Structure 1
Amino acid sequence: MREELQSLLSKITDNHHFSGAIAIFNSHEILETSSGYANRVEQQLNKVNTRFGIASGSKLFTAIGIAQLVEKGQLSFETKLCDCLNVPFPHFNEKITIHQLLTHTSGIPDYFDEAVMEDFEELWTKTPMYLLKSLQGFLPLFQNDEMVAQPGEAFCYNNAGYIVLGLIIEQQTGMTFQHYVEENIFKPAGMNDSGYFSLDCLPQNTALGYIDEDDGSWRTNTYAIPIMGGSDGGAFVTASDMVKLWESLIDFRLVNKGLTKELLTNHVDVKEGVGYGYGVWINDQNGRVVKYHVMGYDPGVSFHSAYYPESGYKIAIPSNHGDGAFDVMKDFEEMFQRLDT
């Protein structure tokens, strides 16, 4: 069975010219593979333990951090933003709650409005990406803008809301967001190879993100994304470390059982069969949850990771290319459907 699965995985990565790593775990099976280059110039291959940027796949870490503060009694999910963060937002509704920030229903303006801007790199024409070394650096991009909806009115995916949540963690703990996550989430989960790294000082065994141009040329994403990841995205993980995150979460090693249930509860319906918890997407069929998953896309980054509660499988697919992770995830799910029939 293991050899058959490994062969099928190789076919999937070959079919999609995949550049990245894959880790698939359940209670009795561990499969890992990698393909493509971590450094195209030096032709250094990706390895199963290569670190990859995961963009918005990091939002789950922020949600877990908030849940930890709730467990300590420092906050509740219904705490109002104005009661837990000393940052002026002159046009924000005073009724905004942490729950609404976590579920993308706060109605605050986003610093990257996908309905208006198609190119993420447009942001850096006015605010150079190399200045965004802290969460505070993002505030001028949205702090003084008007609300786009009333709190709780509608789901609208929002990166700025997670920047605000990260600022709450910083104020409540006295730690930088990145240090908090590394100490209180990565270490307890055994994610020893993961962290937040500056793009101009990446550690050994970290993949560069690549952007392929229409003319056949390519470039790294060094000047295309913020120089340092934060509470809305940008952590670096290995595929196996991300699986460890799922295992630690569902074993209640990061927050207690009740708060884990809150994290993994569908709090808002996004579309048929898809909802959103706290930092996590939830797919259901006929009233049963079939998948908890996170994903992230940036220039030079694509990432999907999921936990399937019925089978117990956990999968992580980080890629140092702007697409590929979704196609591999889709083929993985189809592969297991065939094997189960």
Structure 2
Amino acid sequence: MRKNLMNSIDKIQVDIGFSGTFYAKSKENILTGSYGFANRSEKIKNQTNTRYAIASGCKIFTSVAICQLVEDGNITFNTKVKECLDINFPYFDEEVTIHHLLTHTSGIPDYFDEDEMGDYEELWVSTPMYHIRKLKDFLPLFQNMKMKADVGGSFHYNNSAYIVLGLIVEQVSDLEFGDYIEKYIFQKIGMTESGYFEMDELPEGVALGYIEKPDGSWKTNIYSLPVKSASDGGAYVTANDMIVFWDALTTHQLLTKEMTRTLLTPRTEVVEDIYYGYGGYMETNQNSVVKYILMGYDPGVNFRAVHYPETQLTIVVCSNESDGAYEMIKGIEKVIL
């Protein structure tokens, strides 16, 4: 049975030319596979323990950190930004709360608004990406911009909101954001290979991100992303570490049972049957959540993960190219389900 599943998944990889690692865990099976190169020049292959950037896939770490601080009594979901952050946002509505930031309903300006800007690389034409090493370095990109929508309105995906959440984590905890996540999430549950690394000081075992050029050749994404990952995305993980994360989250090792339920409750409708909670997307039916969905995209980075609460099936797909993770995970879901 396992061999047949792997043969089917390998065929999907060949059909789409996927580069990266997948890991699928259910009650019956554990399946994993790696394809392509972590370093094309040196012909170093991707492996099961290769570390990948996951872009916005790590927004859920920011959400968990906020929930931990709520549990500790430092803030509430209804705390207003002006009450817990001593940074001046001159044009932000004073009614913006942590709840609004988490659910992408704050209406604050997004430093990378996908409705207005098609390519993340465009950001770094006027702002050198090598200056973006701390959360405060993102502030000039949106701090003095006017509100884009009313507070508490409809869902509009917002990276700036998660930068602000990260700044709140830093101020409340008195730790740099990446240090907080590594101490209270990664180290706590054994995500031993994961971290917030700087692109010019990468540790061993990290896959370089690759962008295909118009002529079919490839370049790395070193000039396409901020130097250091932030609270809106960019942490490095292994596929296995994300399985560890979901196991720990759903067995209440990171948050209490009640707070875990709060994190994973549908909050804001995105499209029909798809909602956003405090920790990511979720597909629903009339009665419950069918599956939780994490996704991330940056130039040279593609990530998808799904968790089915009823069957406890978790699938993680990490790619070091700009696409392929969606097609790969849909294929794996079809094979397994």
Coarse TM-score class (shorter-chain normalised): over 0.9
Q: Report the equivalent of 1:177.
A: 177
Partner of 1:60: 60
Task: Name whichever of 277-286 and 253-262 sits farther off.
Answer: 277-286
The equivalent of 2:263 in structure 1 is 263
Compute the displacement of 1:187 (Å). Answer: 1.1
**CA–CA distance in structure 1, aligned partners of residues 70 and 233 of structure 2:** 22
Counterpart amino acid of residue 299 in structure 1: P
Matched ranges for 1:105-124 at <5 A: 105-124=105-124
Aligned to 2:302: 302
Q: Tell me, in whole angstroms, the C-alpha distance in 2 between the residues paired with 1:287 and 1:229.
A: 37
Q: Which runs of 5 or more residues in structure 2 are unaligned? A: none
Are 2:65 and 2:169, in contact at CA under 8 Å, matched by a contact in 1?
yes
Q: Structure 1, unaligned stretches of length 5 or more?
A: none
**Residue 336 of structure 1: how far off its partner (Å):** 2.5
Corresponding residue of 1:42: 42
1:161 shift after superposition? 0.2
- Residue 5 of structure 2 contacts residue 336 of structure 2 at CA under 8 Å; is this kept in 1? no
Q: Which residue of 2 aligns with 1:161?
A: 161
Whether 1:311 aligns to 2:308 is no
SS at structure 2 position matched to 1:91: coil
Per-residue CA distance 1:105-164 (angstroms, 9 max, x = gap): 000000011111111111111111110000000000000000011110111100000000
Residue identity (%): 50
Separation of aligned partners in 1, 2:252 and 2:104: 25
Paired with 1:288 and 1:90, the residues of 2 have a C-alpha distance of 41
SS of 2:260's equivalent in the other structure is helix
Q: Report the Cα distance in structure 2 between the residues aligned to 1:287 and 1:247, rounded to whole angstroms.
A: 23
Correspondence list, 1:234-253, <5 A: 234-253=234-253
Structure 2 equivalent of residue 278 of structure 1: 278
The one-letter amino acid of 2:92's match is: F
TM-aligned CA deviation for residue 29 of structure 1: 2.2
Cα deviation, residue 273, structure 1: 1.1
Is residue 323 of structure 1 aligned with residue 328 of structure 2? Answer: no
Distance 2:25 2:335 in 1: 15
Match of 2:152 in 1: 152
2:230 corresponding residue in structure 1: 230
Q: Which residue of 1 aligns with 2:129?
A: 129
Return the alpha-carbon distance in structure 2 between the equivalents of residues 285 and 115 of structure 1. Answer: 28
What is the CA distance between 1:287 and its match in structure 2? 2.8
1:23 maps to what in 2? 23
TM-score (structure 1 length as normaliser)? 0.97
1:63-102 alignment, distance < 5 Å: 63-102=63-102
| CA distance in structure 1 between the partners assigned to 2:150 and 2:275 by the alignment | 20
Please give the alpha-carbon distance, in whole angstroms, between the structure 2 residues aligned to 1:119 and 1:77.
32
**CA–CA distance in structure 2, aligned partners of residues 291 and 128 of structure 1:** 39
SS in 2 for 1:216: coil
Tell me which moved more, 19-28 or 31-40. 19-28
What per-residue deviation string (whole Å, max 9, x for no partner) do you get for residues 208-247 of structure 1? 0000011112100000011100100000000000011100
Q: Shift of residue 289 of structure 1?
A: 1.4
What SS is found at the alignment partner of 1:311?
coil
Is 2:34–2:48's contact at 8 Å kept on the other side of the alignment? Answer: yes
Q: Once the 2 structures are TM-superposed, how far is the Cα of residue 28 of structure 1 from its aligned partner?
A: 4.2
Measure, in 2, the Cα distance between the counterparts of 1:193 and 1:282.
27
Offset at residue 288 of structure 1 (A): 2.6
Counterpart-to-counterpart distance in 2, 1:270 and 1:42: 43
Cα deviation for residue 88 of structure 1 reads 0.2
**TM-score (norm. length: structure 2):** 0.98
CA distance in 1, matches of 2:280, 2:114: 19
What residue is the counterpart of 1:206 in the other structure?
206
Q: Distance in 2 between matches of 1:26 and 1:324?
A: 22
C-alpha distance after superposition, 1:287-326 (max 9, x if no partner): 3311101100000000001111122111110100000000
State how far apart, in whole Å, the 1-side matches of 2:304 and 2:244 are.
15
Amino acid corresponding to residue 234 of structure 1 in structure 2: G
8 Å CA contact 2:50, 2:238 repeated in 1: yes
